[in-house]
A and B are shown apart, each in its own frame.
Chain A
């Protein structure tokens, strides 16, 4: 099997991950290329040439590390344009359910009216039900009615095209485009968490993606055009700093909660060479960050309330992405959602000389897993098809 290559085109980082399936069937991440992004705003291409150069840098790094020549990639993308809508379809069967029936009901579930400029990025297939019995494997069963729940994730066509063009510019074939929030969930959430209900929030640089699982299915998903850069910008404006200085201050002293004990503590502000030293109250920095993060979480909370899934998230909230490193961000999320919260790191995949157990790798690793699993499914399917042919079924 060829190595699986995914590109995560983010607002703050571009990452290229290479996954190898070893002879014993184990999946190993053999290379990670990582480059600071430029030319991207809120998950969208803002300046094509600089974005393309950044992506190339990450690609070359990964190619060197894995010693491969990459021809085909899968893209993981985010963007404020992304919207998730749940949909359900039901067909009457009245005989043994075949693969054709399953395809038909899925096709109907994917059928929604979208404005001309939008298309479906991904449909997450939820549980099938046959005559009201949910969570069944429908093929081969007898039944009157076959139904399926899906979560359709759609985005603006131009958004997806622009990102695909970035890869095509590097002479790469784009095999598929994935929603980064879903990818992050794939690598961090356990089956148990999906079953009992959990919310994943991926705190990216330009956008914040979320996906909620409830009652064993993806129940809501979307993205906000607000991310870590907004924090940086808030800090820059509050303390009259440049973007780089604000970023430095955020990383060094950022905190999502205001602590009473540190009310009088001051932190030095970055100043240019030859300028007098300045200091700011730590509580002011905490306050600026607190307000932004609280607002971001509250907006997601609002959307989940509208989707009526907020009360179904027994396993709580999992935070991934670079923003999950922010001090006390889990404590703030616990306050806003009233649910337990922790940082999610990718599991069940090992890296070759790379420590992948960091929240910022959740999306990339999840994308590799997604490709790996769907390739496996396709193989299985084709085996069944072949068997079916053998027995004269189809």
Chain B
């Protein structure tokens, strides 16, 4: 059952979005997509490394940890990254003050991205922003230490951000041919990350034929158990819908459709040219509904760009875990595609209530001074609910 009507954003204040990249890797990703986007949102790169920052042209630089890092990188030390950012908490608060949504980008595994990104997320949430972290994790060949550090970073981000969208480099690896040169592999990661960010940004901030609403995103994020992932598919020519769907549903990014089958809530962003047909949107929504589990909420938005004739790109943001209703009743949501949301919820300008108590300084609490209990690289001293990204709603 689908109610089909397009939704116009007339009279609604647009969502004010900031894109922030923390660490060197994220800075490069933003710089790259900034150069490609026609009208990019405000973007800022946060880093200790003055050299990396001075290389940026499109993205605004914000140097952190002047005293502690002295303008150098953190040398892969997440502890240093975390301490460095605490020097500049006021600057961060000022940076995020006028926005509703923060898309926080970090390449986890290194020092600044892993250590500082959770702090940035925490500050932004304290300022009332919805924080969506887009992170990449290292390739296996980058070594166990970076992998472990990245896992710790994700656990910490899940605690401080509203949702963490992970893009495991290993899954991307599966999309490349084994002989792909390394720089190409990394630039492919950047491209995918760019596609994910762009899909959301376009639909939230532009006047589109089918707009996404801030409250759609909020609903998804708050019921996601804070773990999300996204998939990308594109197609060209008359077959573009099938091509794009095949990439999306069968590609490794969403674990060959398994993520979709398990997810409780999804947002599909469609980007096409002026020739984008209504039947194409219907096909897309039907195919997605068929793959998704019953009762899953699927929201779709579509944007049209003049230069995109004959092209179609799909970005799907999916909540990775199904939240058992006993834990947190899912926010009432239409469930069908194209469902109109209650306008009262859709006020990005009216910021969400500020979060109550600030998060504790350390996730390990009373175990902060003792050797961690590790199981396959996971620190069992961190509360299970935090590691799994389950938010306890009482606070």
Contacts and interface: CB of A to CB of B under 8 A. Distances in A.
Interface string B349-382: 0000000110010010111011001010000110
Interface in B119-153: none
B388 interface: yes
B386 interface: yes
Contacts of B392: 238-239, 284, 287-288
Contacts of A263: 326
A287 B381 CA distance: 17
A218 interface: no
Contacts of B327: 258, 283, 287
Interface in A223-246: 224-226, 229-230, 232-234, 236-240, 243
Contacts of A229: 366
Nearest to A243: B366
Given A281-B393, A284-B393, A299-B375, A233 B365 contact: yes
B373 A238 contact: no
Contact of B385 (A226, A232, A287, A299): A287
Given A288-B383, A292-B384, A237 B394 contact: no
Contacts of B370: 41-42, 46
Contacts, number: 79
Given A240-B395, A280-B394, A291 B365 contact: no
Contact of B394 (A226, A258, A281, A299): A281
Instruction: Sort chain B's interface into a size bin.
Output: 20 to 34
A264 to B, nearest CB: 10
B192 interface: no
A229 B366 CA distance: 9
Instruction: Sort chain A's interface into a size bin.
Output: 20 to 34
Interface centre among A232, A240, A263 (most CB of B within 10 A): A240
Given A224-B373, A260-B326, A233 B394 contact: no
Interface in B336-360: 356-357, 360
Nearest to A287: B327
B363 A42 contact: no
Contacts of A288: 383-385, 392
A239 B394 CA distance: 7
15 contacts: A224-B380, A225-B380, A232-B366, A233-B381, A236-B365, A237-B365, A238-B383, A238-B395, A239-B392, A239-B394, A240-B356, A240-B395, A243-B366, A287-B327, A291-B385
Given A224-B380, A283-B327, 11 more contacts: A46-B370, A225-B373, A226-B380, A230-B383, A232-B366, A236-B366, A239-B395, A280-B394, A287-B385, A291-B388, A292-B385
